[in-house]
Chains A and B, each alone.
Chain A
């Protein structure tokens, strides 16, 4: 019987209450440990087609009569369009339509960052569209630019009111602490730079708008487009079967989709609007820069008694105020915590969620601060973390927390530090550092799946979810195969089209597996029950092989349906982990080399250990990029992005990869759904920067306060360490 309940859903640390229609879910979790299929390595179902280049991304789709759209973007960081004349563009060959401010959502008259969209043109070819854009005549009124986040805070220019938090009495605790450390940390703005740029193709078929888009959230795009265009949601069809990376930047439709939709309407033809690589650095979002002014106080026995932080997020012209203070509030058992978080509104490209937004930056600051505290206390950093283990999440029980087990598994990797240090020489200093990870990853309702079984004994899992490259398609197949007792190659998964399946969650916030997985299992269980009923009617044992039971079906089918049930009430669902990193630093040239990363994660039950290890490696490598070499730079005078190409914005290559050892606790979260799995997309990127910085301190005595750790920053830090020694203060070791 269907019941209507209200429950909590979390995405990237933001909680909302949702209504949920639940069926009774009698499914018990499988006992811990690898099963026949779930918990065992599985290669990707789409693997051969992907590797052969046979799958079609949005970038590969060609619709008959399709036009190319190009967006005119503001060269100014803050300006108003005084006058605009599209006529010269419309007069050029091949140009079919042109729109200006207000004529599509996202085309603005007052713009607040260099690269903001103002107008757009659709033409037969990309070249013609680009030429047309250049022909548009605009008169600009330039306005004052503020690029400095601290300046914006001084002026109280915020994207949202500052967020404040306090528990206990921080000032008193700091005054009474035996040891206090204080430091300011800065992290830089980082670009997602997914390999497939942001793009959409819009085509109207009658009153249906078809949106082919590279996205992480088919249903979110559908709903946002429908709302903005004032259409019934079912009149918007969103399609994304394969997409070339998002990392948080493709959670919504954005202006290119609305531009394509409007131009498609006006021309009566399909329109593609694709960002170029250069536009990705201005219009596709970024992980915002932060300034973190932190203090920590502890007793000499290692109890952290106070944590105090002022966090300034350089959000940009718009965007949300990420929870950079989250780790400080949640990671340790500390009675006195105070945070204030500013979302600075400045004339820079707006932030977008990027793989654990806020927590990556905040973990860097906090975990480096904790190591400074350990140094001052003359205490082992692992020991200090253990002493301040938080059993609950600010009083709320945690559905499963295996961080202590992660610490235990970290011990042999941590032990290596003596041997690593001993290999230092006059030029290359070697050391080991660690950092803890806390993040979300419980997902939530709603999410749905159907399972269809035909007389051939094959099962198809029908969903309208997306697989953004994390291997969730294969994980769903494994879950269904396990539940149906079918071999994996007899199970297919359909995804990627909102017209051909039920609602599916976003693939962000580490939520696909914990949201869709239980729905798939429930649907498979529903189908299995029906198969078993038929078996019984045929006088077969209930667990007879599926293909034997259904061979008489002919055109009839078994249809199972399943829904994601509610999250555990009154509990926080969180993921945990530890990274132990070995580095070598060339103290004469400032080169930092990451030699080895041990990444130990608690994300509940692992469905596919092969795919899971790829997520960890990917997150670690992306994290190494933002720790060492990636930096989105702006011209301080105009606010324009300077690092808009992939040779100036330097992401890791295969040559930059350390040895990565990956371990999973793999203990099901017994409170969480019929699966017990938490999400893994984000946890691996969270602690890596701090672990590297802490390893650098271990190797050289130099404190790192800024990301990226360029040679310039490393040499500066080494100079500071030398200066500290000269002045007689012991360099933190």
Chain B
């Protein structure tokens, strides 16, 4: 394995494995779930820091946690994510691209996301898994920040295109098992936020800190519009129009409990914004 530390996008070879903070990629490499001949440390390429309403994708969660000028939902999502050490290491861009915590995926079962033909969680142990869009794959998306950015209506700029953050994600299906739409060699460079009136992020965990969301609810008020997005309830960050969308959830027998939890948090989040 070789390591490259380029200073421009053009120096990044194709078919290489990109990492910034490495908090997802390095353990997966050590574990054999990822392998690469070439590792590329992109921290010299990806912008870092906050400038007005543009955040460099290389900014760490730890930096955003104490950043005064960003929307509350984003700051809170960063503050409650992971552990202090992980926040110091993780980049905003990397966090958006993290894989599910589903134990079957993490233990390399031949599940759908690994290219296989079953969802072991659906038939097996799924108590931490999805309540929406869980027919093909029942994994839950673990990123607090992704939910916050979806609710905030953020846009991403990569080295190839501009897109709404929601367009970064896709549900896996029979022909394509990926949960993101990034192409090989495509790099998230910046996140752009609209002007936000108010926002909030509420997170339910199963210990007080250092835990992925059981359910995370991000709500933002932008202009006259209220946008809601959930973490931990679907294979990708899940946008809902209103609380009644929870009536269309399709919980599994052991994810039923996430429904009253989600309802309570959505109600509280809406109430807190007045």
Chains A and B belong together in one complex: yes
- A residues apposed to B, CB below 8 Å: 588-591, 628-629, 633-637, 640, 642-645, 647-648, 650-653, 655-656, 710-712, 715-716
Question: Is residue B169 within 8 Å, beta carbon to beta carbon, of the partner chain?
Answer: no
B214 touches A711 (CB 8 A): yes
Do A655 and B208 contact each other (CB < 8 Å), given the known contacts A590-B257, A635-B125, A636-B124? yes
Question: Is residue B260 within 8 Å, beta carbon to beta carbon, of the partner chain?
Answer: yes
Note all chain B residues with C-beta closer than 8 A to A643.
Answer: 103
B127 touches A656 (CB 8 A): no
Which B residues between 191 and 225 are near A, CB-CB below 8 angstroms?
A: 204, 206-212, 214
Instruction: Give A521 to B206 CA distance when docked, in angstroms.
Output: 47
Instruction: Give A373 to B118 CA distance when docked, in angstroms.
Output: 48
Instruction: Give A652 to B205 CA distance when docked, in angstroms.
Output: 12
Note all chain B residues with C-beta closer than 8 A to A588.
Answer: 260, 264
Instruction: Give A593 to B176 CA distance when docked, in angstroms.
Output: 43
Question: Is residue B120 within 8 Å, beta carbon to beta carbon, of the partner chain?
Answer: yes
Question: CB < 8 Å: which of B107, B123, B209, B261 contacts A590?
Answer: B261
Question: CB < 8 Å: which of A590, A635, A648, A652 contacts B101?
Answer: A648
A644 touches B107 (CB 8 A): yes
B261 touches A715 (CB 8 A): yes
Instruction: Give A644 to B265 CA distance when docked, in angstroms.
Output: 30
Note all chain B residues with C-beta closer than 8 A to A712.
Answer: 127, 254, 257
Identify the closest chain B residue to A130 (Cβ).
B32
Chief secondary structure at chain A's binding surface: loop
A634 touches B103 (CB 8 A): no
**Cβ distance B202 to chain A, nearest Cβ, rounded Å:** 9
A589 touches B124 (CB 8 A): no
A653 touches B210 (CB 8 A): yes
Instruction: Give A302 to B7 CA distance when docked, in angstroms.
Output: 78
A589 touches B207 (CB 8 A): no
**Cβ distance A283 to chain B, nearest Cβ, rounded Å:** 16
A653 touches B264 (CB 8 A): no
Note all chain A residues with C-beta closer than 8 A to B207.
Answer: 628-629, 650-653, 655-656
B204 touches A711 (CB 8 A): yes
Apart from the given pairs A590-B260, A651-B207, 14 other A-B contacts in the complex at a CB distance below 8 Å: A589-B264, A590-B257, A629-B206, A635-B104, A635-B120, A636-B124, A647-B210, A648-B101, A648-B103, A650-B211, A655-B208, A711-B257, A715-B257, A716-B257
B265 touches A589 (CB 8 A): yes
Note all chain A residues with C-beta closer than 8 A to B106.
Answer: 645, 648
Note all chain B residues with C-beta closer than 8 A to A716.
Answer: 257
Question: CB < 8 Å: which of A636, A645, A653, A655 contacts B125?
Answer: A636
Note all chain B residues with C-beta closer than 8 A to A651.
Answer: 207
Identify the closest chain A residue to B268 (Cβ).
A588
Do A711 and B107 contact each other (CB < 8 Å), given the known contacts A633-B125, A635-B125? no
Question: CB < 8 Å: which of B107, B209, B254, B265 contacts A642?
Answer: B107
B124 touches A637 (CB 8 A): yes
Note all chain A residues with C-beta closer than 8 A to B127.
Answer: 633, 712
Instruction: Give A723 to B110 CA distance when docked, in angstroms.
Output: 42
Note all chain A residues with C-beta closer than 8 A to B265.
Answer: 589
Instruction: Give A643 to B127 CA distance when docked, in angstroms.
Output: 12
Note all chain B residues with C-beta closer than 8 A to A645.
Answer: 106
B261 touches A634 (CB 8 A): no
Instruction: Give A588 to B217 CA distance when docked, in angstroms.
Output: 15
**Cβ distance B78 to chain A, nearest Cβ, rounded Å:** 16
Instruction: Give A635 to B125 CA distance when docked, in angstroms.
Output: 6
**Cβ distance A302 to chain B, nearest Cβ, rounded Å:** 37
Instruction: Give A650 to B125 CA distance when docked, in angstroms.
Output: 17
B214 touches A637 (CB 8 A): no
**Cβ distance B139 to chain A, nearest Cβ, rounded Å:** 13
Identify the closest chain B residue to A633 (Cβ).
B125
25 A–B pairs (Cβ distance < 8 Å), ordered by A? A588-B260, A589-B204, A590-B261, A628-B206, A629-B207, A633-B103, A633-B125, A637-B123, A644-B107, A645-B106, A647-B101, A647-B210, A648-B101, A648-B106, A650-B207, A650-B211, A653-B207, A653-B210, A655-B208, A656-B209, A711-B261, A712-B257, A715-B257, A715-B261, A716-B257
Note all chain A residues with C-beta closer than 8 A to B212.
Answer: 647
Identify the closest chain B residue to A650 (Cβ).
B207
Q: Quick one: CB contact mask for B96-124 with A, threshold 8 Å, 1 for yes?
A: 00000101101100000000000010011
B209 touches A653 (CB 8 A): yes
Identify the closest chain A residue to B262 (Cβ).
A589
Note all chain B residues with C-beta closer than 8 A to A711.
Answer: 204, 206, 214, 257, 261
A642 touches B257 (CB 8 A): no
A589 touches B101 (CB 8 A): no
**Cβ distance B122 to chain A, nearest Cβ, rounded Å:** 12
**Cβ distance A706 to chain B, nearest Cβ, rounded Å:** 13
**Cβ distance A716 to chain B, nearest Cβ, rounded Å:** 7
Instruction: Give A652 to B107 CA distance when docked, in angstroms.
Output: 24
Instruction: Give A650 to B208 CA distance when docked, in angstroms.
Output: 11
Instruction: Give A643 to B208 CA distance when docked, in angstroms.
Output: 19
**Cβ distance B61 to chain A, nearest Cβ, rounded Å:** 16
**Cβ distance A718 to chain B, nearest Cβ, rounded Å:** 9
Instruction: Give A403 to B124 CA distance when docked, in angstroms.
Output: 46
Note all chain B residues with C-beta closer than 8 A to A648.
Answer: 101, 103, 106
Question: CB < 8 Å: which of B124, B206, B209, B261 contacts A635?
Answer: B124
Note all chain B residues with C-beta closer than 8 A to A635.
Answer: 104, 120, 124-125
Note all chain A residues with C-beta closer than 8 A to B254.
Answer: 712
**Cβ distance A692 to chain B, nearest Cβ, rounded Å:** 14
Instruction: Give A634 to B103 CA distance when docked, in angstroms.
Output: 10
Identify the closest chain B residue to A640 (Cβ).
B107
Which B residues between 130 and 168 are near A, CB-CB below 8 angstroms?
A: none
Identify the closest chain B residue to A648 (Cβ).
B103
Note all chain B residues with C-beta closer than 8 A to A637.
Answer: 120, 123-124
Note all chain B residues with C-beta closer than 8 A to A647.
Answer: 101, 210-212
Instruction: Give A629 to B101 CA distance when docked, in angstroms.
Output: 17
